[in-house]
Structure 1
Amino acid sequence: MKLPAAAEQALEAFTACPGWEQRARLLLQWGQQLPTLSEAECCEANRVHGCESQVWLLAERQGESWKFRANSDARLLRGLLAVLLARVNGLKASELTSVDLHDWFSQLGLARQLTPSRSNGLQAVLQRMRQLIQTEG
């Protein structure tokens, strides 16, 4: 499956980093670029459960594909969400179900730095995405 353009950009940017410190800085920069959600959107109905930090997620159907918006109160997690969104935005529902989170973060060189709780939190976000597209689909 061909990667979305934003995912290609993320892959290029992160694989160009020689080490974790540069990747961490880049991750924080990506997190700063996440569009903010309104106060009304940061409500309990949009909260992702299973994350230690607060995470909110919204899904919007655009023709055959999906666009997600997300935010978190944790800076590093915002960056992880940004690269996750780069990977999944624009996918069709059938493509979203086959996204392998661990593989994606491994390709970016970020998998080893994911603590079990962060990894579980990101899995919860991906699960929530899949639930939202089934509900809306």
Structure 2
Amino acid sequence: MAQAAFEDIAGDFEFLDDWEDRYRMVIDLGRDMEPLADELKVPATKVEGCASQVWLYPRWQDGVFHFEGDSDAMIVRGLIALLRTLYNGLTPAEVLQVDARAELGRLGLNDHLSAQRSNGLRAMVERIRSVNAAEV
């Protein structure tokens, strides 16, 4: 079961019939997200395997995972925002239990992202999983 914020987004997606509207919603999620500070956009936070520039900055507070992220592509910023609703606030062990492919599939993203965007999304999920696996 996904977090409440992700469930809210999934519910909103159900009411949007047109994929243009869904893309707009994803872009709006990214637009509403605070940009990552420039000093955190370093090679260690850069995600390889993405067509666009992507940075994920993980942190743990009181045993709970949070991350910030950014991209130079608006749709990717939106995907980062979606991933934040899926993972932020979980323990590292809970992060590893999330089936991101299935959860994002509920939104229809698996069928509507380009191959490059899908590869980039997979790379972001793998980065999130790997940094949390090191914390378990």
TM-score normalised per structure 2: 0.91
Q: Which moved more, 1:118-127 or 1:101-110?
A: 101-110
SS of the residue 1:50 aligns to: coil
CA RMSD of superposed structures (Å): 1.5
2:32 equivalent in structure 1: 33
Q: Which runs of 5+ in 1 are unaligned?
A: none
Number of the residue aligned with 2:106:
107
The correspondence of residues 1-137 of structure 1 with structure 2, limited to 5 A, is 2-136=1-135
CA contact (8 A) 2:30 2:79 kept: yes
Could you tell me how far apart the structure 1 residues matched to 2:55 and 2:88 are? 16
Report deviation, 1:70.
0.9
Give the drift of 1:136: 4.7
The percent identity for this pair of structures is 35
Secondary structure of the structure 2 residue equivalent to 1:58: strand
Q: What is the deviation of 1:123?
A: 1.2
Q: Aligned-pair distance for 1:101?
A: 2.5
Give the count of matched residue pairs: 136
Change (3 A) 1:86 1:107: same
Structure 1 runs of 4+ off > 3 angstroms?
Answer: 134-137
Using the TM superposition, name which of 54-63 and 5-14 deviates more.
Answer: 5-14
Deviations 1:50-103 (A, max 9, x none): 111110001111223201111100111111111111111111212211222321
What code does the residue aligned with 1:62 have? Q
SS of the residue aligned with 2:97?
coil
Task: Provide Cα deviations, 1:6-34, integer angstroms capped at 9, x if missing partner.
Answer: 11221122122112011011111111011
CA distance in 1 between counterparts of 2:114 and 2:104 reads: 12
